[in-house]
Amino acid sequence: MLERLRCMLVKEIIQALRDPRMRFILFIIPAVQTVIFGYAVNTDVRNVKTAVYDQDNTPESRDLAARFQRSGYFLITERIGRESRVRELMDRGEVKAILRINRGFGAELGGGRTAPLQIILDGTDSNTAGIVLNYASRITARFNDELRGTQLPRSRGARVFAGGVQLQSRAWFNENLESSNYYVPAVIANIVLIITMLLSSMAVVREKEIGTMEQMIVTPISRSEFILGKTIPFVLIGFIDVAVITAVSKFWFQVPIRGSLLLLFGATALFLMSTLGFGLFISTISTTQQQAMMSSFFFIFPAMLLSGFAFPIENMPRVIQYFTYLNPLRYYLVIIRGIFLKGVGADILWPQMAGLLVLGSVILGFAVKRFRKTLA
Amino acid sequence: MSDLAVTLRDLEKRFGDFVAVNRVSLDVKRGEIFGFLGPNGAGKSTTIRMLCGILQPTAGSGTVAGFDIVRQPEEIKKNIGYMSQKFSLYEDLTVEENIDFYSGIYRIPDAKKKDRKEWVIRMAGLTEHRASKTAILSGGWKQRLALGCAVLHEPPIIFLDEPTSGVDPISRRNFWDLIYHLAGGGVTVFVTTHYMDEAEYCDRLALIYRGELIALGTPAELKTRFMEEEIVEVRCSRPQDAMEIIEAIPGIGHAALFGRTLHVVAQRADESIPAIRESLAAGGFTVDGIERIVPSLEDVFVSLIEARDRETTPQQEFSR
């Protein structure tokens, strides 16, 4: 048993690592992708290109525009002089927001009346527009508060408002709300999913394609020796990729690792049961490597979209939320983020780990059973 | 173990409605080179795959090395070597790595490993290429290496499924020398082919056509006993035009070009020879020679298949 398994492993590892392109795919691409994700997948909204259409041009209106500029969220790129330019800028996408201050803005404020202020947003990207709107509201609110505190008492000779509620917010786990802290560790899950599932299915199907599978069936090698020989190398490669990405996250992006790395590898092992199970399953339904690749992507896309990697599961329709319980990525992402950012341990993460164990056992068991059947 | 290496009894394999192998029965003696001859799609590979445990038979039974093909496939696998036309080697591994891999899979004892490896390398003529990747080897080398890997564990029976397809004639010749060498050591060789010259090398032949066994015997037996008609060789000018004239003569089956000569299938050679000579002379052909010859295996093969087609075609059309 061990002798044959050892032979399979030696052969698989030679095959996986001999080709320089393959080494590149296995170990360099994950690091590169982590870096790309770290920089590119960024939902922080800063320096929103903004035009100001100030028809009032009074100290008050200029003060307000300056506050937008100073906040760091808005970058005023143009001051508009005519109405038609508003449409033009928006249509061309040259700005994402336009601040319009009507004539008489300063006078209204001075007179103690409500002064309307308009912000026009490019709502194509609804997410960004929402965030920009939120920033604008905060700036306007602050402006209001100060106005009430200084200007009004001066003009009326009395303090109208003694105080109000001020929200003091603190974000735990990701103190500066940096999106790289949220996304970079999660890249581990995607890379491990793609590499182990895709490559393991292709490694099996390749043997079918070149005819060595038939040769294997004629030798006394057992099914379990063959399956273990095919999957264990990808378990090792999966672990190495986790280590590579963790190192890049830690040393390049300064993502904190607050929990136990040992737990991370333990959870990875549980996650690999599912990915290798899927890989093996795909190899039973494919006869060429191309088919295996196409079928893998058929699994990978929904798995990524419905994992909570980018889109919160809580926002999905209820039916789809239930569906995500079948997605191993969903559990693994919670574990990764829990370990990296929250520093929690198995006492908190056990439900997710149990989920991975159950899911992995079912998928792997089913795939192995099917695999044996197709060979017979 | 009896002196029969392989036995088949009414072995049958169906894929849906298609009968790939139709109740084939035969025995192969130990130490024999047994040829399985037939056109592409006749069921040769299907039969061999059932014997090696790759496919389950639909009906019938068989034994290999004394083990039942349905109940004891794992025992069979330890006692056979199998090599298919695909030369199942790992092209991204070197020659030595391939050998090491298979010797591990067959669990060859460490004490013998080195000897067997050197034997394969020498036999395949790969001494200078032992560290080369298999992908760069020529077809003949790959073929010999694949055979070497298939017999590393010194199995008493080897199955070769069209082992020489896609290999040049000299390599084929060398390969058959290896097969003789193995058979000389007492190994039973079960080989499928569609090359007639290779069929001549076999001790005994089974002719299989459309899944059915249509003839079984030594090459000499097939040429004498199974051939109802006689073969007349005609050497004349413009053989292509002569074919039409000859085929029109009563008592003559058909004529086929063999190089620059014609092989004519005749009911009775002694009656047909004067008739052919007469017709050709009347047609203005120069005749260099007409004589009865011992049929080649190819003649037998074509004649048997045509006889079988004549038998079955009307039935098939009727059943439609």
Q: Which domains does chain B have, with CATH numbers?
A: 4-223 (3.40.50.300), 228-294 (3.30.70.100)
Tally Cβ neighbours within 10 Å of residue B43: 24
Residue A294 is predicted with a pLDDT of 93
Q: Hey, of B48, B78, B88, which one would you mutate to test binding to chain A, going by the most A CBs within 10 A of its CB?
A: B88
Does any CB of chain B come closer than 8 Å to the CB of residue A20? no
- A163 is a domain residue: no
- A96 is a domain residue: yes
Residues of B within 8 A of A23 (CB-CB) are none
| A332 shares a domain with A206 | yes
CA angle (B152 as vertex; B149, B156 as ends), nearest 5: 115
Residue B197 is predicted with a pLDDT of 84
Residue B317 is predicted with a pLDDT of 46
- Work out the minimum CA distance from B199 to partner chain A, whole angstroms: 25
Residue A18 is predicted with a pLDDT of 87
Please, which residues 116-175 of chain B have a Cβ atom closer than 8 Å to chain A? none
Residue A244 is encoded by which pair of tokens?
């590579």
Q: State the average pLDDT over residues B241-254.
A: 85
Q: Residue B138 above 50 pLDDT?
A: yes
Q: State the average pLDDT over residues A215-234.
A: 90
Residues of B within 8 A of A215 (CB-CB) are 82, 84, 88
Residue A200 is encoded by which pair of tokens?
């393991």
- A303 is a domain residue: yes
- Last residue within a domain, chosen from A125, A156, A187: A156
Helix axes B110-124, B95-105, angle to 10 degrees: 140
Q: State the average pLDDT over residues B198-208.
A: 91
Q: How far, in Å, CA of A7 to CA of A1, rounded?
A: 10
Percent composition of chain B: helix, strand, coil (DSSP 3-state, to 5): 40, 30, 30
Q: How far, in Å, CA of A205 to CA of A200, rounded?
A: 9
Residue A321 is predicted with a pLDDT of 93
Q: Give whole-number Cα distances, B237 to B262, B265, B283, in Å.
A: 11, 19, 11
| A329 shares a domain with A246 | yes
CA angle (B135 as vertex; B133, B141 as ends), nearest 5: 90
Q: How far, in Å, CA of A141 to CA of A121, rounded?
A: 18
- Work out the minimum CA distance from A228 to partner chain B, whole angstroms: 14
Q: State the residue range of the domain holding A77.
A: 48-156
Residue B258 is predicted with a pLDDT of 82
Res. B196 pLDDT band, cuts 50 70 90: confident
CATH code (residue A72): 3.40.1710.10
Q: Residue B199 above 50 pLDDT?
A: yes
Res. A319 pLDDT band, cuts 50 70 90: very high
Q: Which residue has the tokens 């192995």?
A: A368
Give the tens place of pLDDT for each residue, A48-84.
999 999 999 999 899 999 999 998 899 999 999 898 9
Residue B314 is predicted with a pLDDT of 56
- A165 is a domain residue: no
Residues B88 and B146: beta-carbon distance below 8 Å: yes
Which is nearest to A276 in space by CA: A322, A244, A214, A233? A233
The DSSP H or E segment spanning A322 is helix A318-323
Residue B128 is predicted with a pLDDT of 92
Give the tens place of pLDDT for each residue, A245-287.
999 999 998 999 999 999 999 999 999 999 999 999 999 999 9
Q: Residue A358 above 90 pLDDT?
A: yes
* Chain A residue with Cα closest to B48: A218
Q: What percent of chain B has pLDDT over 70?
A: 97
| A128 shares a domain with A7 | no
Residue of A7, A14, A18 with shortest CB distance to B105: A7
DSSP B94: B
Q: State the average pLDDT over residues A13-21.
A: 87
B221 half-sphere exposure, CB direction, 13 A CA radius: 10
Q: State the average pLDDT over residues A3-10.
A: 92
| More confident position, A186 or A165 | A186
Residue of B87, B92, B104 with shortest CB distance to A18: B92
| A26 shares a domain with A62 | no
Res. B309 pLDDT band, cuts 50 70 90: confident
In total, how many domains does chain A have?
A: 2
Res. A375 pLDDT band, cuts 50 70 90: low
Residue B117 is predicted with a pLDDT of 94
Four-residue CA torsion sign, A339, A342, A348, A349: negative
- A215 is a domain residue: yes
Does any CB of chain A come closer than 8 Å to the CB of residue B309? no
- A172 is a domain residue: no
Residue A36 is predicted with a pLDDT of 86
- A277 is a domain residue: yes
Give the tens place of pLDDT for each residue, B151-160.
999 999 999 9
| A215 shares a domain with A254 | yes
- A166 is a domain residue: no
Which is nearest to B246 in space by CA: B230, B266, B228, B229? B266
Q: State the average pLDDT over residues B51-75.
A: 91
| A87 shares a domain with A222 | no
| A287 shares a domain with A256 | yes
Q: Give the pairing type, strands B157-161 and B188-193.
A: parallel
